[in-house]
A and B are shown apart, each in its own frame.
Chain A
């Protein structure tokens, strides 16, 4: 057991620190953020528990506050990350390691990471705030360590289950959809937040929560969640404390068992991402993409461009991961479309809600990642003698075909619904924003490529590039695009109001010209860059897929 934990710790250290400077930057940033967040958590726990101390409220109220706090930590820990890097158990499948031991040791190896920072923060905040002698404080500190261990195990179990699910196309899409729905609910709740603040509702909600806590309803409603059992035990009062401790330990044992089982299942599972065409009757006509006028339109650009556009559509329609991202993009658009309706200041939503810009933002993952959507097929693309500029035009056209009709329809429908006065202007400027983002995307796709998982490969978290480094480059890309779009935004919102309709049309024409110029310049630059960086792009996608 100890040897395996030591090996996994060494492996974890190697992956976390000794791979590349990009990953190191990400690791340092993650630790810095973790420490800041942990300090905040510690202070929050201190003041939260002081506020719920027996001097100010009843014992029942304090217990219910503990239940609520434990619930938030429990759900937050699982939803926002388990602090446990997942190594694909299949890589260890050939070794004689019992799956349950692998699960336990993998969880124990999480000691190298952000988890201890949070444990220390929680222990510090809690023990400082809670009354009682030194023994009580030590016992409560141990309870927090136990909760963290329980959460590390549960986090890994969730990841393993997801890894198992994600090796199945159908489950993968379902889990993607589920994730989107959860994000959507959070999004809509955030959008509704401003309404709540401005009304009596928020005060009513606070009074309602207070009533629940004072009546002990929270314990009744959440009595099936281990977080509640832990809170009862931690409270160390009454008959509920031993019951809570027993149930919490039992649930931890069950999680450890299920973890071992999952390790075994995932080690045996097969990668099944590969596209399986639908069975069609013999002699049935072949399904073709882009029939009718789009196909005729594409012929105008030439056979090579038409071929790449059709290839993009095939990838988008057939690769489950791309399809999921594509669906999530549209879901995001729909959710964003709701904001103007939910917004308390309807006049703002009707007049100047920047829907066109936000729609482009929702699709930016595709526009900034022209070569990453289908991973290794870039090799086939680069082997071809096709002019690189035309290749980029083809990629642009694919996204124009895909997004512009939909986006314009969304703007039109929401604009009509919210009686927007500048509907035509919004639609026109949306195309400008789209072109500018595409231009920026040409450069960023070459310099900051990101990848999706290649078809036939399992999801892994061992990339050289840390997610935080990727986030930093993403922020840089967004800022630069914002600077590129600034003249158009300024022209529309700052200069246009000083002119009449004719002047506004001229400003729009200038903006469109600027966007087209930017696009053609970016094509030229990207063509030159590609000639220099093609080998680097190929190496990146080969290594990371």
Chain B
């Protein structure tokens, strides 16, 4: 099979609810694939099935040329997973956790420690932070350690569920850098995110899922076209067109008021003068405060 991920008629039900409904798509090797959809659309369920963490009711799923449904262990050895909620052994330090992951993937301890060090440096995780317990980590640090654990064995396919959820711009940039580096090395990345700007920047192709069914799949231009939008449309526009951003329009929070209604213009807070880097006197106005 030529695809890194091949899915055909995949279906998963939870009692009455169809979480994944007859989904078919494929992702080539070295592709950065974004899997998008509103909350509860079926993204995480699909990822779990593809990672061998959940059994599908019917259909086919192949990852790295192996059948996930028949041999999930073989697939797990070839992939890396960063779950949305990192529920791990949080009484270990970041370094211990990464090394333990390496050992569980069959690496020698020295090699696992070496790789963990490189990964942490790449992800800008300070040396002292590596020796802290994971339970004391911020969300961004947890994501970085989770990513280090997922990458330590050199996976062919990487599954990331909301990797940028709740992390700051600096951590986001560091993680993005690592991911782009991986794609350049031929690793396939399958990820879900609600940060559409990042998806637009990173992904070569996207798939959009709603109520368990795949609505569109292709490049952003192809997806925009299938949604009946102009070729230059942003992913955000496409997303809003498909899912409708008009909810609640015409309603007003009439009880909320930040300022008294009859405030005089002069009493509004004046613009703040911020020194510019290029003039020592601090005479420049960096930003004008909008008038009330």
Residues of A within 8 A of B (CB): 3-4, 7, 10-11, 14-15, 18-19, 87-88, 90-98, 267-268, 270, 462, 464, 543
Which residues of chain B in 85-110 are interfacial with respect to chain A, using CB atoms and an 8 Å cutoff? Answer: 87-89, 91-92, 96, 100-101, 103-106
Min CB gap A327→B, angstroms: 26
Check A15–B51 contact: CB distance below 8 A: no
Check A94–B51 contact: CB distance below 8 A: yes
Set A87, A92, A543: member contacting B135, Cβ < 8 A: A543
Check A268–B103 contact: CB distance below 8 A: no
C-alpha spacing A92/B53, complex, angstroms: 10
Which residues of chain A have C-beta atoms less than 8 A from B133's C-beta?
A: 19
Check A14–B92 contact: CB distance below 8 A: yes
Min CB gap B106→A, angstroms: 8
C-alpha spacing A92/B89, complex, angstroms: 9
Check A91–B76 contact: CB distance below 8 A: no
Which residues of chain A have C-beta atoms less than 8 A from B135's C-beta?
A: 543
Indicate if B83 sits at the interface (CB-CB under 8 A). Answer: yes
Check B81–A94 contact: CB distance below 8 A: yes
**In the complex, what residue of chain A is closest to B108 when comparing beta carbons?**
A3
Min CB gap B17→A, angstroms: 12
Which residues of chain B have C-beta atoms less than 8 A from A462's C-beta?
A: 89, 91
Min CB gap B264→A, angstroms: 30
Which residues of chain A have C-beta atoms less than 8 A from B77's C-beta?
A: 96
Check B73–A94 contact: CB distance below 8 A: no
**In the complex, what residue of chain B is closest to A97 when comparing beta carbons?**
B104
Min CB gap A454→B, angstroms: 12
Check A268–B76 contact: CB distance below 8 A: no
Shortest 8 CB-CB contacts between residues of A and residues of B:
A96-B77, A96-B76, A95-B104, A94-B81, A96-B73, A19-B91, A7-B103, A93-B53
**In the complex, what residue of chain A is closest to B133 when comparing beta carbons?**
A19
C-alpha spacing A19/B96, complex, angstroms: 13
Q: In this complex, which of A7, A93, A96, A464 has the most chain B Cβ atoms within 10 angstroms of its Cβ?
A: A96
Indicate if B229 sits at the interface (CB-CB under 8 A). Answer: no
Which residues of chain A have C-beta atoms less than 8 A from B83's C-beta?
A: 94
Check B103–A3 contact: CB distance below 8 A: yes
Which residues of chain B have C-beta atoms less than 8 A from A14's C-beta?
A: 89, 91-92, 96
**Could you show 12 A-B contacts with beta carbons less than 8 Å apart?**
A7-B103, A10-B100, A14-B89, A14-B96, A19-B133, A94-B53, A94-B83, A95-B76, A96-B74, A96-B77, A96-B105, A270-B54
**In the complex, what residue of chain B is closest to A18 when comparing beta carbons?**
B91
Check B91–A15 contact: CB distance below 8 A: yes
Check B91–A268 contact: CB distance below 8 A: no
Which residues of chain A have C-beta atoms less than 8 A from B100's C-beta?
A: 7, 10-11
- Given contacts A7-B103, A15-B91, A94-B83, A268 and B73 within 8 Å (CB-CB): no
C-alpha spacing A267/B53, complex, angstroms: 7
Check A91–B105 contact: CB distance below 8 A: no
C-alpha spacing A90/B53, complex, angstroms: 9
Which residues of chain B have C-beta atoms less than 8 A from A19's C-beta?
A: 91, 133
Indicate if B132 sits at the interface (CB-CB under 8 A). Answer: no
Indicate if B194 sits at the interface (CB-CB under 8 A). Answer: no
**In the complex, what residue of chain A is closest to B80 when comparing beta carbons?**
A94
Q: B157-169 toward A: CB 8 Å interface, digit per residue (1/0)?
A: 0000000000000
The interface size of chain B toward A, counting residues with CB under 8 Å, comes to: 25
Min CB gap A15→B, angstroms: 5
Set A98, A268, A543: member contacting B53, Cβ < 8 A: A268
Which residues of chain B have C-beta atoms less than 8 A from A18's C-beta?
A: 91
**In the complex, what residue of chain A is closest to B55 when comparing beta carbons?**
A268
C-alpha spacing A545/B83, complex, angstroms: 18
Q: In this complex, which of B54, B74, B89 has the most chain A Cβ atoms within 10 angstroms of its Cβ?
A: B89
C-alpha spacing A280/B202, complex, angstroms: 45
Check A94–B87 contact: CB distance below 8 A: no
Check A98–B73 contact: CB distance below 8 A: yes
C-alpha spacing A96/B66, complex, angstroms: 14
C-alpha spacing A10/B91, complex, angstroms: 12
C-alpha spacing A503/B74, complex, angstroms: 82
Which residues of chain B have C-beta atoms less than 8 A from A90's C-beta?
A: 87
Which residues of chain A have C-beta atoms less than 8 A from B106's C-beta?
A: 3
Min CB gap B15→A, angstroms: 10
Check B54–A268 contact: CB distance below 8 A: yes
C-alpha spacing A464/B96, complex, angstroms: 18
Which residues of chain B have C-beta atoms less than 8 A from A11's C-beta?
A: 89, 92, 100
Which residues of chain B have C-beta atoms less than 8 A from A91's C-beta?
A: 87-89
Which residues of chain A have C-beta atoms less than 8 A from B87's C-beta?
A: 88, 90-91
Which residues of chain B have C-beta atoms less than 8 A from A96's C-beta?
A: 73-74, 76-77, 104-105
Q: In this complex, which of B92, B104, B106, B133 has the most chain A Cβ atoms within 10 angstroms of its Cβ?
A: B104
**In the complex, what residue of chain B is closest to A3 when comparing beta carbons?**
B103
Q: B100-128 toward A: CB 8 Å interface, digit per residue (1/0)?
A: 11011110000000000000000000000
Which residues of chain B have C-beta atoms less than 8 A from A543's C-beta?
A: 135
C-alpha spacing A90/B87, complex, angstroms: 8
C-alpha spacing A188/B35, complex, angstroms: 59
**In the complex, what residue of chain A is closest to B92 when comparing beta carbons?**
A14
Which residues of chain B have C-beta atoms less than 8 A from A270's C-beta?
A: 54
Which residues of chain B have C-beta atoms less than 8 A from A464's C-beta?
A: 91
Min CB gap B144→A, angstroms: 17
Min CB gap B24→A, angstroms: 23
- Interface contacts beyond A462-B89, A464-B91: sample of 6 additional A-B pairs, CB < 8 Å, sorted by A: A7-B103, A11-B89, A14-B91, A14-B92, A14-B96, A95-B101
C-alpha spacing A468/B105, complex, angstroms: 36
Min CB gap B99→A, angstroms: 10
Min CB gap B255→A, angstroms: 16
C-alpha spacing A444/B112, complex, angstroms: 45
Q: In this complex, which of A4, A19, A95, A543 has the most chain B Cβ atoms within 10 angstroms of its Cβ?
A: A95
C-alpha spacing A96/B133, complex, angstroms: 25
Which residues of chain A have C-beta atoms less than 8 A from B76's C-beta?
A: 94-96
**In the complex, what residue of chain A is closest to B76 when comparing beta carbons?**
A96
**In the complex, what residue of chain B is closest to A456 when comparing beta carbons?**
B85
C-alpha spacing A101/B96, complex, angstroms: 22
C-alpha spacing A14/B87, complex, angstroms: 17
C-alpha spacing A88/B81, complex, angstroms: 18
**In the complex, what residue of chain A is closest to B91 when comparing beta carbons?**
A19
Which residues of chain B have C-beta atoms less than 8 A from A4's C-beta?
A: 104
**In the complex, what residue of chain A is closest to B100 when comparing beta carbons?**
A7
C-alpha spacing A15/B90, complex, angstroms: 10
Min CB gap B152→A, angstroms: 11
C-alpha spacing A157/B55, complex, angstroms: 22
Min CB gap A265→B, angstroms: 10
C-alpha spacing A450/B106, complex, angstroms: 39
**In the complex, what residue of chain B is closest to A15 when comparing beta carbons?**
B91
Which residues of chain A have C-beta atoms less than 8 A from B54's C-beta?
A: 268, 270
Q: In this complex, which of A10, A14, A270 has the most chain B Cβ atoms within 10 angstroms of its Cβ?
A: A14
Which residues of chain B have C-beta atoms less than 8 A from A97's C-beta?
A: 73, 104
Check B55–A92 contact: CB distance below 8 A: no
Set A10, A87, A95: member contacting B105, Cβ < 8 A: A95
**In the complex, what residue of chain B is closest to A6 when comparing beta carbons?**
B103
**In the complex, what residue of chain A is closest to B82 when comparing beta carbons?**
A94
C-alpha spacing A98/B77, complex, angstroms: 11
C-alpha spacing A306/B97, complex, angstroms: 47
Min CB gap A14→B, angstroms: 6
C-alpha spacing A94/B55, complex, angstroms: 14
Which residues of chain B in 146-183 are interfacial with respect to chain A, using CB atoms and an 8 Å cutoff? Answer: 150
C-alpha spacing A98/B73, complex, angstroms: 7
